[in-house]
A and B are shown apart, each in its own frame.
Chain A
Amino acid sequence: MDLTRTLTATPALALHGVAKAFGGTPVLRGIDLDIREGEFLSLVGSSGCGKSTLLRIIAGLETQDRGTLEIAGRDVTDVDPSDRNLAMVFQSYALYPHMTVRENIATPLRMRRLPGAARLPLIGRLVPNQSDTRAGIDAAVREAAEVLQITPLLDRRPAQLSGGQRQRVALARALVRDPAAFLMDEPLSNLDAKLRAHMREELADLHARLGTTFVYVTHDQVEAMTMSNRIALMDAGEIAQLGTPSELYERPANLTVARFIGTPQMNVLPVEIAPGGTVMLFGRPTALAVRSAPGPATLGLRPEDLRLARTGWPAKVLRIEPHGADRYLTLELPGTGAGRLVLRQYAGAEVIPGDGQVHVDFAPERAHLFGADERRREVAQRAEQVA
């Protein structure tokens, strides 16, 4: 076996069976996760799924009840947060309010490189032989400020900065210490939509430039989809699916993942699997077949995989929502008892008739099928239907 390969294959962070309960309520139910060196991994999920707790356990701010945690092959289960060499960016940015931006960024380095006496206010300057260290810290602060373009703000205090500027200072404070990994807890959620989109790009750039491991917690699937190498989608204290953004989008492992990833949400319709495997929608056979026992199941259709057609299921258009290049149609399938569907199409598509009566069909090769246990079932297209 190639030795270099084995070495580089050591994950940056490895979690084994990490479990945590708060007052008897399990929050994490045994998480196993390897985070690769240099990857941007997002922990995504709705609130209460345990993603923040997991990040805090990685940081050492919370102690797990069971399980172990390794950073670059070293077991850090009982190591203090400050000795794990991880940098964290918090939702509220958590800047030290009484320090200037420069002091804020310098703090992690001062705490590590200067002896206790040299860190004291006023008299700290009198401790001998620290000038090289101080010069090194100053240089590192300047460089971090340069990277995040906050050099003009160095002498201000956090209260004098806007949300976006605080965000940059928090990032600079994190990257100045050259950590083994960055941990980010919903860092963009306090920004307005425009700034958020901009910071998304910047974070992705920063990751590309630094090549450091990022672990990013968010409830916003757009953030996860746009920035991550891989996404771990969490649900009720477990990892529901771990994979690249396109894997999660194209092949969701279960209904939870399918519903969480993608806007607008995936449409779900109740179907029946007939004996023989044909998938029956509202009593009519579809082009899909599955090798599975007969019984109820769920059909998942992304809005872009629905289409208006001459044949298909009769539907009524309730609302047309223009989104520039695209538009979303909200449809109702009369007489089926199914919920509303959303169809996404090119904005210049055919005109909808005044009474809103249309027919809707779907691309069978893009359909997702979930069994009664909500897990994904592989579907095939029925040969006779394709012909």
Chain B
Amino acid sequence: MARFVPHLVLALGACVMLLPFYCMGLTAIRAPSEIFDISLWPIPEDFSAGRNFAKVEERVPMGRFMLNGVIVCAGILIVQVATAVPAAYALAKLKFPGKALFLALVVGALCVPMQALALPLFVGLAKAQLLNTYFALMAPFFLSVFAIFLFRQSFRSYPDEIIEAARLDGFSEFDICWRLVLRGSLPSLSAFAIFSVVAHWNDLYWPMIVVRDTALAPPPLGMLYFSDAESGADYGALMAGATLVTAPMVLCFLLARRQFIAGITMTGVK
């Protein structure tokens, strides 16, 4: 019996977590007349999923928003990994003067919230005439101190003797970093990829600041336009849009779940 108690508690917690998503999905398939029905019964009297999703499709370019999201998330992730992996390797495995200081700066930078930087970044991008571009959406996130820190923790556990054997075998530091050490930290890489993609896919704050053009809007901003525009109280359609925006992330997590959990538990990041 005692074995089931923790599972029961966790299952209740999961229900609480999942309830809003359930409601979202439910609203997306209900007719307007049923929307404020308190019942959680999964089968609506008037099945209106088709109507709600069609409304999303006809009113806003949801495909375009999704594509924007993919471009922005992929661009950010690629540059983040390309810069964070060498930095983390240097901090974890190389000896150089000032290493402790650099690490302290990285940890310090973790404490700076995005909002504190928003204004100077906006002004800089405006002066450079780069507002309303994909670059403006991505640039502030190219350097991720979180990634540097996460990879450093994970790289530190890579055996030094293998790195030394590689040096004797003729591997360059670049080869060692990308082909051996990162190879040994793939769970961390996928964990970070999920963190990064989820954060930037769902980000509304920064796109709202730098983008005015609907054609550049990532999904959450697109949703905002959608609700602003005319839908007003058409919650069914709104939730259908939200479902569409959320679905890729859920799929993404389910596919990489095992790797993600290995990456988190291995590095001790919570």
Contact = CB atoms under 8 A, between A and B. Distances in A.
A16 interface: no
A56 B168 CA distance: 11
Nearest to B164: A61
A90 B180 contact: no
A59 B180 CA distance: 20
A30 B177 CA distance: 34
Number of chain A interface residues as a range: 20 to 34
Contact of A90 (B164, B171, B183): B164
Contact of B168 (A87, A91, A96): A87
Given A59-B168, A88-B164, A90-B165, A96 B180 contact: yes
A86 interface: yes
B166 to A, nearest CB: 8
B184 A94 contact: no
A97 B170 CA distance: 17
A60 B164 CA distance: 10
Interface stretch (A107-115, A208-216, A311-319): A107-115
Given A97-B184, A98-B183, A92 B168 contact: no
B158 to A, nearest CB: 9
B183 A91 contact: no
A111 B171 contact: yes
The 6 closest A-B pairs by CB, nearest first: A111-B170, A82-B170, A94-B165, A94-B161, A90-B161, A108-B169
A65 to B, nearest CB: 15
Nearest to B163: A94
A82 B168 contact: yes
Contact of A112 (B161, B165, B170, B184): B170
B162 interface: yes
Given A82-B167, A87-B168, A98-B180, 16 more contacts: A56-B164, A59-B164, A60-B167, A61-B164, A82-B169, A82-B170, A86-B168, A88-B165, A90-B165, A92-B159, A94-B161, A94-B164, A94-B165, A96-B165, A96-B166, A111-B171
A97 B180 CA distance: 9
Residue picked from B165, B167, B171, B184, most chain A C-beta under 10 Å: B165
A81 interface: yes
A61 B170 contact: no
Interface string B151-191: 00000000101101111111100000000100110000000
A266 B169 CA distance: 43
Interface string B238-251: 00000000000000
Contacts of A112: 170
B157 to A, nearest CB: 12
Contacts of B162: 94-97
A95 B169 CA distance: 12
Contact of A91 (B161, B169, B171): B161
B172 to A, nearest CB: 9
Interface of A: 56, 59-61, 80-82, 86-88, 90-98, 107-108, 111-112
Contacts of A91: 161
A112 B168 CA distance: 11
25 contacts: A59-B168, A60-B167, A61-B164, A61-B167, A80-B167, A81-B164, A81-B168, A82-B169, A82-B170, A82-B171, A88-B168, A90-B161, A90-B164, A90-B165, A91-B161, A93-B161, A94-B165, A95-B162, A96-B162, A96-B180, A97-B162, A107-B169, A108-B170, A111-B169, A112-B170
Interface in B130-166: 159, 161-162, 164-166
A164 B170 CA distance: 26
Nearest to B159: A92
A107 B180 CA distance: 12
Nearest to A179: B168
A60 to B, nearest CB: 8
A183 to B, nearest CB: 9
Contacts of B171: 82, 111
A328 to B, nearest CB: 38
Contacts of A61: 164, 167-168
Given A61-B164, A88-B164, A94 B170 contact: no
A59 B165 CA distance: 10
Contacts of B168: 59-61, 81-82, 86-88, 108
Contacts of B166: 96
Contacts of A80: 167
Nearest to A185: B161
A114 to B, nearest CB: 10
Nearest to A98: B183
Contact of A92 (B161, B170, B180, B183): B161
B161 A81 contact: no
A96 B162 CA distance: 7
A104 to B, nearest CB: 10
A20 to B, nearest CB: 14
A98 B170 CA distance: 18
B266 to A, nearest CB: 15
Given A90-B161, A94-B159, A97-B162, A81 B167 contact: yes
Nearest to A62: B164
A96 B46 CA distance: 61
A44 B114 CA distance: 57
Contacts of B167: 60-61, 80-82
Contacts of B170: 82, 108, 111-112
Contacts of A98: 180, 183-184
